[in-house]
Amino acid sequence: MSKENSTNAHKEHTHREIMIIMGGLMTGLLLAALDQTIVSTALKNIVEEFNGLNHYTWVVTAYLLTSTAATPLYGKISDLYGRRPVFQFAIVIFLIGSILAGASQNMTQLIATRALQGLGAGGLMALTFVIIGDIVPPRDRGKYQGYFGAVWGLSSVAGPLLGGYFSDHPQILGITGWRWIFYINVPFALASLVVTSMVLHIPKIKREHSIDYLGALLLVGSVVPILLTLSVYGPEHGWADARTIIYLLIGLILAVLFIMQEKRAKEPILPLHLFQNHTFNVTSILGAVIGAGMFGAIVMIPLYLQVVKGYSASDAGIKLIPLMLGILTMSIYSGKAISKHGHYKRFPVAGTAIMTIGLILMTQLKVDTPYWQVAIYAVLVGMGLGLSMQTIVIALQNSVEMRDMGVATSSNTFFRSLGAVFGTALFGSILTNRLAHYMQSGFAELAKSNPDAIVNFDQSKLEALTNNSALIKTLPTEVQNTVLQAFVNSFHVVFVSAAPVTAIGIILALMLKEVRLRTNEDYKKAKEAAAGEQLG
């Protein structure tokens, strides 16, 4: 490498340059984050059109599944080929997936195209934080990453709000309303391509390329069947079912082969020496916990607001604004506080505790709970997420060598997505399972207390109710109240299940070792050392 390239590789960026680069990154991140949440309020209308509430969570899970499996690959490939071309590749894949998802004609097509979207989203989410790690030292990173937390906060409300608005309209410009939740991505994706082409100029250190293709194949091959086992076959068919056991064994065998491959690979997809880093281990598990809690809330709260409270999809999106405010304010506050004082451990400790309290309070929701109570609980969950999400990325990036920045950051995103997949699938399975139970027990009790109320009601329609909640409004008052109470009881079990998961996050956050955040001078030396290693 020439002396000039070596100098450029570790030159400091001005605040103005960083903000311009962030504009391009935030556009891409908004795309990925928006599509994790935009379907939450529209899903009810979509699954009613395609007649399948039993596949409710799969539209979310498919997206998370592929983005999770692809995330570590993006980090490693961008280490080798540069951030911008790989970031733009992710945008193109996401764009194609969005167009095809909007054209879906049935549930199978929608789930498949959502999976394609996820392949692109994995790169957008992972590389955003990797690139910031390239250009900003950990001590100053908080004030910038707080803005990315704000993007997540914005998407957590703008997504459901837009999804609700589009799905509430039968047609927009001659196209079915809910399809616009995917088509709206097209102009944003094109704008992101233009912006990143103009501003995302990050010099990379030239090096010989070597990609562990076999490791990548084994990683994806192990993650997918394990996730399918835990999220689909186990809950739906039983843990002793042959399909459940076979898929789990295949996933575990491929996982063992992946570890063996990584030990001997010249440039492994996931360097095993990272697991010797205490901060990497703690933040990885903590990220999974936060991901599970985040999606448990984002998917379940809109469903409660629409089914139980009777809000329209767009109204349900508006009602999620308190959640967004919690994420937004705490992300920016914690980021600026970290940059000012240099301490970060206190924030994930407080965040996981507040999020757990919010989820516990969610168990108090009833059919007639006033909205102001729901808003308070949602604010608490949002505040917990805002204090935790970006902070653990700062802690991780501060603890690893520059050469591992990309793969370590994308691995953290990988584990957070993994938690989101498990959380969404697990909580969805719990909701479906408990709903059937409470429906049966509720109607059995109603038959004893008021047999006249169900004398003309065909109880064979109960299964149809669990697949198409729009039918609830057509029921007699007594029957309708029984169904709504069954939903409320089921939501209680979901939130009771989610609270211990986030409570584990408190213990993990307390285990986090606080290391002095690297300053500009430290960061410059680290970059020079990394450049020297590559030259050597």
Within this chain, do residues 329 and 189 fall inside the same structural domain, yes or no? yes
Within this chain, do residues 66 and 22 fall inside the same structural domain, yes or no? yes
CB-CB contact of 55 with 111 (8 Å): yes
Residue 176's beta-bridge partner residues? 171
**Residue 3, pLDDT score:** 40
Of 103 and 204, the structure prediction assigns the larger pLDDT to: 103
- The Cα 531–Cα 55 span in angstroms is 49
- The Cα 256–Cα 221 span in angstroms is 11
28: CATH: 1.20.1250.20
Residue 231 pLDDT > 70: no
Q: Which of 246, 266, 286 is the C-terminal boundary of a domain?
A: 266
Within this chain, do residues 410 and 314 fall inside the same structural domain, yes or no? yes
Q: Is residue 121 included in any domain, yes or no? A: yes
CA distances from 339 to 235, 330, 332, 519, 520 (A): 44, 14, 11, 10, 12
Within this chain, do residues 286 and 381 fall inside the same structural domain, yes or no? yes
Residue 342 pLDDT > 60: yes
Q: Which residues of 10-49 are buried (b: 16+ CB within 10 A; e: fewer)?
A: beeeeeeebebbbebbbbbbbbbbbbbbbbbbbbbbbbbe
Q: What is the mean pLDDT of the chain?
A: 77
Within this chain, do residues 129 and 224 fall inside the same structural domain, yes or no? no
Of 238 and 205, the structure prediction assigns the larger pLDDT to: 238
Mean pLDDT, rounded, for 15-35: 76
Within this chain, do residues 84 and 191 fall inside the same structural domain, yes or no? yes
Q: Is residue 501 included in any domain, yes or no? A: yes
**Residue 8, pLDDT score:** 41
Residue 207 pLDDT > 60: no
- The Cα 238–Cα 189 span in angstroms is 41
Q: Is residue 186 included in any domain, yes or no? A: yes
The DSSP bridge pattern shows strands 175-176 and 171-172 to be antiparallel
Within this chain, do residues 256 and 281 fall inside the same structural domain, yes or no? no
**Residue 250, pLDDT score:** 92
How does DSSP classify residue 38?
T
Q: Is residue 455 included in any domain, yes or no? A: no
pTM above 0.75, yes or no: no
Number of Cβ atoms within 10 Å of the Cβ of 486: 23
Q: Is residue 468 included in any domain, yes or no? A: no
Could you tell me the residue range of the domain that residue 38 belongs to?
3-211+267-445+480-514
Type of residue numbered 239: W
CB-CB contact of 202 with 83 (8 Å): yes
Which of the given ranges, 35-49, 318-332, 418-432, has the highest pLDDT on average? 318-332
**Residue 145, pLDDT score:** 62
Within this chain, do residues 349 and 329 fall inside the same structural domain, yes or no? yes
CB-CB contact of 90 with 116 (8 Å): no
Angle at CA of residue 298, ends 195 and 504, nearest 5° = 110
Q: Is residue 451 included in any domain, yes or no? A: no
Within this chain, do residues 166 and 68 fall inside the same structural domain, yes or no? yes
Q: Which of 225, 241, 266 is the C-terminal boundary of a domain?
A: 266
pLDDT band at residue 466 using 50, 70 and 90 as cut-offs: low
Q: Is residue 12 included in any domain, yes or no? A: yes
Q: Which residues contact 232 (CB under 8 A, 6 or more apart)?
A: 58, 425
pLDDT band at residue 534 using 50, 70 and 90 as cut-offs: very low
**CA dihedral for 304, 376, 178, 193, sign (positive or negative):** negative
Mean pLDDT, rounded, for 368-373: 90
Within this chain, do residues 200 and 251 fall inside the same structural domain, yes or no? no
Within this chain, do residues 62 and 96 fall inside the same structural domain, yes or no? yes
pLDDT over 70, % of the chain: 78
**Residue 5, pLDDT score:** 40
Rg of the chain over all Cα atoms, to the nearest angstrom:
23
**Residue 357, pLDDT score:** 93
Tens digit of each residue's pLDDT (9 = 90 or more) over 270-323: 778 888 888 888 988 898 888 887 766 667 887 888 888 888 767 777 787 888
Residue 413 pLDDT > 90: no
**Residue 361, pLDDT score:** 92
Within this chain, do residues 104 and 27 fall inside the same structural domain, yes or no? yes
pLDDT band at residue 376 using 50, 70 and 90 as cut-offs: very high
**Residue 100, pLDDT score:** 92
What is the number of structural domains in the chain?
A: 2
Tens digit of each residue's pLDDT (9 = 90 or more) over 147-185: 776 676 677 667 777 777 887 777 888 887 788 888 888
Q: Is residue 419 included in any domain, yes or no? A: yes
Mean pLDDT, rounded, for 55-73: 71
Of 24 and 109, the structure prediction assigns the larger pLDDT to: 109
